[in-house]
Amino acid sequence: MATASPLARSRRSTELSLVVMAGMITAIAYTFASLGQYTQIPARIIPFLLALLALLLFAHLAVRWFARGADPTLLPLVALLHGVGYVMITRLEPERLAGLQTTWSIIAIVAFVATLAVVQRAADLARFRWTFLFIGVVLLILPLVPGVGSSFGGARIWVSLGPVNFQPGEFAKIAFAIFFASYLADNRQLIAGGTWRVGPLHLPEPRALLPVLAAWSFAVLVMVAERDLGSSLLFFTLFVVMLWVSTERVIYLFLGAAMFFGAAFVSWRLFDHVQLRVDIWLDPWADWQDDGFQLVQALWGMSDGGLMGTGLGRGSPDIVPVAESDFIFTSIGEELGLFGAAAVLMAYLLIVGAGLRVALRTENAFEKLLAVGLTTIMGIQTFIIVAGVIKLVPLTGITLPFVSYGGSSLVSNYILLALLIRLSDSTARRLHEVPDDPTMAERWAARKLRRRARRGRVVAGSPA
Partner 1 sequence: MNRKIRQLAAAFIVLYVVLFAAMNYWQVGRESELNAMSGNTRAIRREFSRPRGEIVSADGVVAARSIPLPDDNEFPYQREYPTGDLFANVTGYYSLALGATQLERTQNSVLTGQTAEQRIGNLEDIVTGGQGTGDVHMTLRSDLQDTAREALAGRRGSVVMLDTRTGAVLAMYSNPTYDPNRIVDPNFDAARDALEELLEAPGNPLLANAYQERYMPGSTFKVLTTGIALDAGVVSLDSQFDRVTEWTPPQTSNPIQNYDGSNCGGDLREVFRRSCNIPFAQTALNVGIPGMISGVQAWGVGENVPIDLPRPAASTFGSTDNLDQQLPLLAMRGFGQQEDQMVPLHMAMVAAAVANNGVMMKPFVVGSTTDSQGRTLTRTQPEEWKRPISPETAATLNSLMQSVATDGTASCCLQLNGGVPVAAKTGTAQLNEAGQPERSNAWIVAFAPANEPRYAVSVVLLDSPEVSAGTGGRLAGPIAQQMLNEALANG
Cα separation of 319 and 297, whole Å? 7
Q: Select 353 or 435, whichever has its Cβ closest to partner 1.
A: 353
List the one residue from 176, 216, 235, 244 that touches partner 1 (CB under 8 A): 244
Q: Does 290 sit near partner 1 (CB under 8 A)?
A: no
List the one residue from 54, 145, 278, 349 that touches partner 1 (CB under 8 A): 349
Q: Select 35 or 190, whichever has its Cβ closest to partner 1.
A: 35
Q: Does 177 sit near partner 1 (CB under 8 A)?
A: no
Interaction pattern, residues 428-457, with partner 1; x per rule: CB under 8 A: ------------------------------
Phi, psi of 198 (to 5 degrees): -120, 105
Q: Does 299 sit near partner 1 (CB under 8 A)?
A: yes
Q: Does 277 sit near partner 1 (CB under 8 A)?
A: no
- Identify the sign of the CA torsion 44, 45, 49, 50: negative
Instruction: Choose the binding region for partner 1 from 162-170, 207-215, 225-233, 358-366 (rule: CB under 8 A).
Output: 358-366
Site for partner 1 in 95-124 (CB under 8 A): none
Q: Select 7 or 356, whichever has its Cβ closest to partner 1.
A: 356
List the one residue from 43, 257, 360, 431 that touches partner 1 (CB under 8 A): 360
Cα separation of 296 and 282, whole Å? 12
Q: Does 353 sit near partner 1 (CB under 8 A)?
A: yes
Q: Does 356 sit near partner 1 (CB under 8 A)?
A: yes
Site for partner 1 in 374-433 (CB under 8 A): 376, 379, 383, 386-387, 390-392
List the one residue from 167, 310, 404, 426 that touches partner 1 (CB under 8 A): 310
**Least distance in Å: CB of 10 to partner 1?**
25
Q: For 37, how many CA atoms within 13 A lie in the half-sphere containing its CB?
A: 21
Q: Report the interface residues with partner 1, using CB under 8 A.
A: 35, 39-41, 241, 244-246, 248, 288-289, 296, 299-307, 310, 314-316, 319, 333, 337-338, 341-342, 345, 348-349, 352-353, 356, 359-360, 365, 368-369, 372, 376, 379, 383, 386-387, 390-392
